[in-house]
Amino acid sequence: AQSVTQLDSQVPVFEEAPVELRCNYSSSVSVYLFWYVQYPNQGLQLLLKYLSGSTLVKGINGFEAEFNKSQTSFHLRKPSVHISDTAEYFCAVSGSSGTYKYIFGTGTRLKVLA
Amino acid sequence: NAGVMQNPRHLVRRRGQEARLRCSPMKGHSHVYWYRQLPEEGLKFMVYLQKENIIDESGMPKERFSAEFPKEGPSILRIQQVVRGDSAAYFCASLQGANTGELFFGEGSRLTVL
């Protein structure tokens, strides 16, 4: 079974400042990892994913994340945020073979301040 | 999110009534997931279905909730005798095949129980 922990429920940051949203996972099998973004009253949109290969993954809107197997982490980063990045961000994990359940964290609300 | 269609987007029911939420997956996708999102909480897995089969319903409440994904037509999440605690956003997501990558989400159905 897999689980995901997003320790920060809210992260305020000023516009043009860097941000890191933390995600830790646990799993007894190899995993796929995902970050999704949710804007108010909308569904979830994929930001980026790690399936295999390079541990540094680049996604849309200037976001990137690094898969760290030893620390079981998949933190999301952006070097300079915009007001439009204000949203809820969800980390998710699924097993990479033989399993099918996608487990989501509780989310981190990013609030970008002018 | 393009392609996964959920309806209705908003549904209001009185206690004791039935709610039916529909989800049409992306074209070519044969796997459907349902998640529930309560205010200030993350997404909770409810059920995973393939065409005509329930693969995992471990997240479904034991009573009043049911789901199906018939050979023809959309997947349906049915909630009988709704109570106020059922008020939430219900999201459907589809997947092309097991372990093929990310889930694609619909815009959600927001159920309000009066």
Task: Search chain B and give the residue with CA nearest A98.
Answer: B99
Helix (DSSP H) and strand (DSSP E) numbers for chain B = 0, 11
CA distance, residue A61 to nearest chain B CA (Å): 16
Residue B101 at interface with chain A, using a CB cutoff of 8 Å: yes
**So what's the pLDDT on residue B98?**
66
pLDDT at A98: 61
User: Is residue A100 over pLDDT 90?
Assistant: no
Omega of the bond prior to B8 within 30 degrees of 0, cis? yes
Whether residue A94 contacts residue A103, with contact meaning beta carbons closer than 8 Å, is answered with yes
Query: Mutation test of the interface with chain A: which of B33, B43, B110, choosing the one with the most A Cβ atoms within 10 A?
Result: B43
Residue type for position A101 = K
Give the pLDDT score at B2: 55
By Cβ distance, the residue of A41, A96, A105 closest to B99 is: A96
Give the range with max mean pLDDT: A15-19, A38-42, B1-5, B92-96. A15-19
- pLDDT, greater one: A53 or A73: A73
> Where does the pLDDT of residue B10 fall: very low under 50, low under 70, confident under 90, or very high at 90 and above?
very high
pLDDT-derived band at B1 (thresholds 50, 70, 90) equals very low
Cα→Cα distances A94→A4, A28, B101, Å: 10, 11, 9
Give the closest of B1, B42, B55 to A43, CB-based.
Answer: B1
- Please count the residue pairs, one from chain A and one from chain B, whose beta carbons lie less than 8 angstroms apart: 63
Mean pLDDT of A49-61: 92
Separation CA A86–CA A108 (nearest Å): 10
* Residue A20 clears pLDDT 90, i.e. is over it: yes
Looking at chain B, the whole-number percentage of residues with pLDDT higher than 90 is 76
Q: Residue B8 corresponds to which amino acid?
A: P
Give the per-residue pLDDT at B15.
Answer: 97
Cβ–Cβ contact A109 with B under 8 A? no
The whole-number average pLDDT for the span B69-85 is 95
